[in-house]
Each structure stands twice: as structure tokens, then as C-alpha cells.
Amino acid sequence: MKNVNFDFSQFTALVTGGASGMGAQVAGLFARAGADVLIVDANTELAEQTALAIGATALAGDVSQADFCNQAVATAVQRTGRLNAVVNAAGIIARKTGVDTTDEEWQRAMDVNAGGVFYMSRAAARHMRGQGGGAIVNFGSIWGELGGPGALAYASSKGAVHQITRTFALELARDGVRLNCVCPGEVDTPMLRSAGRATPLTDLQAQEMGQRVVPMGRLAQPEEIARVALFLCSDAASYMTGAMVYVDGGYSSQ
């Protein structure tokens, strides 16, 4: 049996949503492990700042656009001639019940959260099949399997991410392309604190949320989720494909 390798120095990795939150942590861990990293994010300024801080390259654009995803994969491949790992961490949330969700909010959640994962995974898989393999990790959610009251569009889009992952994994298993899904619970990110809220959560409110809803009694830190994503891209996960990996402090066991 070959040695397990956590050295990514021969890797080219593309991370969507890599400018902040969990995506930024994934990008940073890859960079520290020696990978050539391409950060993809809609926030041009923040993507460039994050990339500069970790020695990566930034590419600004909208993952809900298939042409952009094709371009991003081509850019990554042009840098080093290979693309070993893609982590799809880009996502948005509308904190609305189903009856209050607008057509636009529904469509945008599906376009970014599900469409972005599909387009980027498809583009990456087309290249990875030709090079003999690769790893794709999609960011799902506990709400992709459980009910998500108050965030119907988000939960629905993450359910789609889970099925995109499973189906691609089956279709590409013989090509050496592995697809897995990391499914976080409540994580202390800018999206949890601010997105869709009238006022951002304070430190105390975030702490109280963790104590109230998570069996471990606290919110996850972004790096705790990022480490699992890196594991799924590594040789240590060589026999894993189509898996939903819950990183939720015990929430989904309730």
C-alpha cells in the first residue's frame, strides 16, 4: 500500500468562494501544503486580498455562468498543465420561509449554489478524466438532508448539491475522478453572521447560538470544516467517492 500523502506540492487546486469564510480557509490550507491555488470569487477586491496573503492567484467571476466556469478551469490548467482538486465552496443564502421567498431569490440560490457546483464540477471532470483522475469536493450542508425552516431556497439548493455529487461520483468512478461532499452545520462565518440578516450577529449572539443548537455547545470555526475538505482531496480519502461527510458538532445525530 502506498504511503498516505498530505503533501500538495504537486497539486493545482481551484477553490470557489475562496475569498472569505470556509473557502478562504480551504485555499489557505492548500497553499500552506504547497499547492498552486486559484481562488475564484465574485468579490474581486476581497479575492485579490486573500490571494495576495497566501500566495495564490485570484480570478473574479460568477460561478452561476457556465462559460465562466469553463474559463476558470482552463485558467487553472494553463498555469501548471494540470488540475488536481476543485473545492466548490461558493454559496449564498436567503433567510426566508417558502411563502416569503421571491422568484428572484429562489432562482439566484439555485443558480449559484446548485448551478455553480454543477458547472464547475462538469468543467473540471472533463479535464480530470483526460489526465487520469482528480478530486472534487462540494460544499453541501446539513440542510441538504434535513429540513431548513426559514431558508427554503438554500436548503433546496444544497439538496441538489448532494445529488449532483452522488450522481457525478457514480458516473466518474471508473475514470479516477472522486466527488465527495462536506456538509457543515453551523459555522462562524460572515455568511452565518450577516447574510440575510437585518443586523449581523454579535460575538455573544453567535456564542449563544452555538450553545443553544449544537450538541457540542459551540459553532464550528471555518478551519475545522476546511481540514475535512483537504482530507477528501488527499490520498487518505482514495477509496471515498459519493460520500456526504457531516461536520456539524453532532447536530444531524439528534
DSSP labels, 179-237: EEEEEE-SB-SHHHHTTT-SSPPPHHHHHHHHHHH-TTSSPBPHHHHHHHHHHHHSGGG
Residue from 66, 86, 69 nearest 178 by CA: 86
Average pLDDT rounded to a whole number, residues 107-131? 97
Tell me how crowded residue 70 is: count the other CB atoms within 10 A of its CB: 17
For position 99, what pLDDT does the model report? Answer: 96
More confident residue, 170 or 5: 170
**Percent of all residues in the chain with a pLDDT value above 90, rounded to a whole number:** 84
The residues annotated as belonging to the active site are 154
Minimal CA–CA distance to 244: which of 109, 146, 119? 146
Average pLDDT, the chain: 94
Average the pLDDT over 157-182 and give the result.
Answer: 98
Task: Select the more confidently predicted residue: 6 or 226.
Answer: 226
Of all residues in the chain, the percent with pLDDT exceeding 70 is 97
Q: What is the mean pLDDT of residues 225-244?
A: 97
Q: What pLDDT, on a 0 to 100 scale, did the predictor assign at position 5?
A: 57
- Cα separation of 83 and 85, whole Å? 6
Judged on CB neighbours under 10 Å (0-12, 13-18, 19+), 83 is buried
Give the pLDDT band of residue 203 (cuts 50, 70, 90). Answer: confident
- Out of 4-18, 67-81, 156-170, pick the least confident: 4-18
How confident is the model at residue 1, as a pLDDT? 43
The answer to whether residues 37 and 108 touch, using CB atoms and an 8 Å cutoff, is no
- Average pLDDT value for residue range 51-64: 98
- pLDDT of 217 > 90? The answer is yes
Confidence (pLDDT) at 44: 97
- State the Cα–Cα distance between residues 54 and 37, nearest whole angstrom: 9
Residues 7-17, mean pLDDT to the nearest whole number: 95
Q: Where are the beta strands (DSSP E) in 42-81?
A: 57-60
* 131 vs 193, residue with greater confidence: 131
pLDDT at 153 over 60: yes
Q: Angle at the Cα of 184 (from 158 to 15), degrees rounded to 5?
A: 75
Choices 3.40.50.1100, 3.30.420.40, 3.40.50.720, 3.40.50.300: CATH for 12-185+220-245: 3.40.50.720
As a whole number, mean pLDDT of residues 224-237 equals 96
Least confident of 19-23, 193-197, 244-248: 193-197
Choose the weakest-confidence range: 5-14, 115-124, 164-173: 5-14
Alpha carbons 144 and 152: distance in angstroms, whole number = 10
C-alpha cell at 181: 461532499
Contact 2, 21 (CB under 8 A): no
**Is pLDDT at 3 greater than 60 in this prediction?**
no
Mean pLDDT of 90-108: 94
Separation CA 115–CA 162 (nearest Å): 12
Every domain of the chain and the residues it spans: 12-185+220-245
